[in-house]
């Protein structure tokens, strides 16, 4: 069951990461980024790194993706530009893809992608418990204050980005 979940989360992460790069619409690309981060958090949960999964969802999926969406909406970006293939960028992309395939082929040929024996890998989950305890006890107030300040900044961006049409009364 764990292996099936790993493959599902890995496939979700890879497909959504490709969707971020390929998508023309900036809002859809940001949503693909959110789904990709959720897939990575699922992989962290499978590694029993619950704190890292929680922080990834809280900081990146919650704050950074929301900031991306506000910036996209503030700039009023349109995603209907057509693809233009120029010679140099297309050649550079093909060279980069060829180098990626060469590197992966080298790893597979040398056997460096083998799965290690589970007994040889040290468990790191118990070492993170003191950090989680400190974060949710000693440093809870500073984290809450920082979250409140980010909320105020987000509301300020919303107010400043409003477009006034002139129909409002100016007194």
* Span between the terminal Cα atoms of the chain, in Å: 66
CB 103 within 8 A of CB 50: no
Q: What tens digit of pLDDT does each residue of 37-92 get?
A: 999 999 999 988 888 888 888 888 888 888 787 777 777 656 555 556 677 778 88
Q: Is the pLDDT of residue 154 over 60?
A: yes
CB 33 within 8 A of CB 12: no
Fold of 1-79: 1.20.120
Q: How far apart are CA 44 and CA 66, in angstroms?
A: 22
Q: Which two tokens stand for residue 167?
A: 């129909």
0.75 cut: is pTM over it?
Answer: no
- Gyration radius of the chain's alpha carbons: 22
């Amino acid at each position: 069951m764990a292996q099936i979940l790993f493959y599902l989360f890995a496939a979700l992460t890879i497909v959504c990461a490709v969707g971020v790069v390929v998508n023309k619409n900036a809002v859809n690309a940001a949503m693909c980024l959110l789904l990709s981060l959720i897939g990575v958090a699922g992989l962290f949960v499978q590694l029993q790194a619950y704190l890292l999964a929680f922080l990834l969802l809280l900081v990146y999926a919650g704050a950074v993706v929301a900031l991306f969406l506000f910036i996209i909406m503030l700039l009023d970006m349109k995603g209907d530009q057509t693809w233009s293939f120029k010679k140099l960028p297309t050649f550079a992309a093909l060279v980069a893809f060829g180098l990626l395939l060469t590197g992966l082929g080298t790893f597979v040929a040398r056997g460096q992608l083998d799965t290690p024996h589970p007994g040889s890998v040290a468990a790191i989950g118990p070492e993170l418990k003191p950090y989680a305890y400190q974060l949710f006890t000693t440093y809870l107030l500073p984290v809450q204050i920082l979250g409140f300040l980010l909320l105020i900044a987000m509301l300020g961006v919303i107010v400043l980005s409003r477009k006034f049409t002139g129909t409002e009364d100016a007194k």
